[in-house]
Structure 1
Amino acid sequence: MIIITGDLLIKEGHMQQAMQVCQKHVAHSRTETGCISHAVYQDPENVLRLFFFEQWADQAAIDAHFTLPSSQAFVAEVRALVSAAPNMHIFNAQQIK
């Protein structure tokens, strides 16, 4: 399983638009083959920060996700709404029961 975490710092006055863009992206991502979970949350300690948590079946699913036109459009839309470069971390994880 691949886990991705990331965060965006949104420009002041753009949070509502950013949430709409992000929620649309999350909803679409959840329909993709290999997506186990995909979520976006607003940070209660910094209301201008959005945090992403994603779980994917394997690297092939991630590669397909990143090359989709909808994912590329999301990146382009978000770029205009952020005040700093996004952070993203990708982990290869194994579930321990």
Structure 2
Amino acid sequence: MAEARKLSVEHVHRSRMEPGCVSHAVHVDCENPQRLVFVEEWADHASLQEHFKVPASGHFVAALSALAGEKPRMVVYQAEHVGA
């Protein structure tokens, strides 16, 4: 888990520098400390698609998958900002 967390933080810091990245973070699930959860905000869908094409992102997914006890799952949601 320590290696997975290290790789994840490196990925988050790298991703934050990409065009269109509004925010990018990794969290440890309080109920399952062996589970990492990524929360990202991108300016638009095109920026997210470009993020997926970055070679370092692919290398990260491969490295993290090799450490995972089960196949990682990714779900992308489109959210709409609602005023306060």
TM range (shorter): over 0.9
Q: 5+ residue gaps in structure 1?
A: 1-14
Task: Report the Cα distance in structure 2 between the residues aligned to 1:91 and 1:75, rounded to whole angstroms.
Answer: 19
- Structure 1-normalised TM-score? 0.82
**Distance across 1 between alignment mates of 2:32 and 2:79:** 28
Who is 1:52 aligned against?
Answer: 38
- SS of 2:37's partner is strand
Higher relative contact order (CA 8 A, sep 6+): 1
Match of 1:73 among 53, 56, 59: 59
Q: Percent identity?
A: 43
Q: Which has the higher helix share?
A: 2
> Counterpart amino acid of 1:48?
Q
Q: Which runs of 5+ in 2 are unaligned?
A: none
Inter-partner Cα distance in structure 2 for 1:22 and 1:57: 21
- Quick check: which one's strand share is greater? 1
Partner AA of 1:91 in structure 2? Y
TM-score (norm 2): 0.93
Matched length: 83
SS at match of 1:51: strand
Q: Which runs of 4+ in 1 moved over 2 A?
A: none
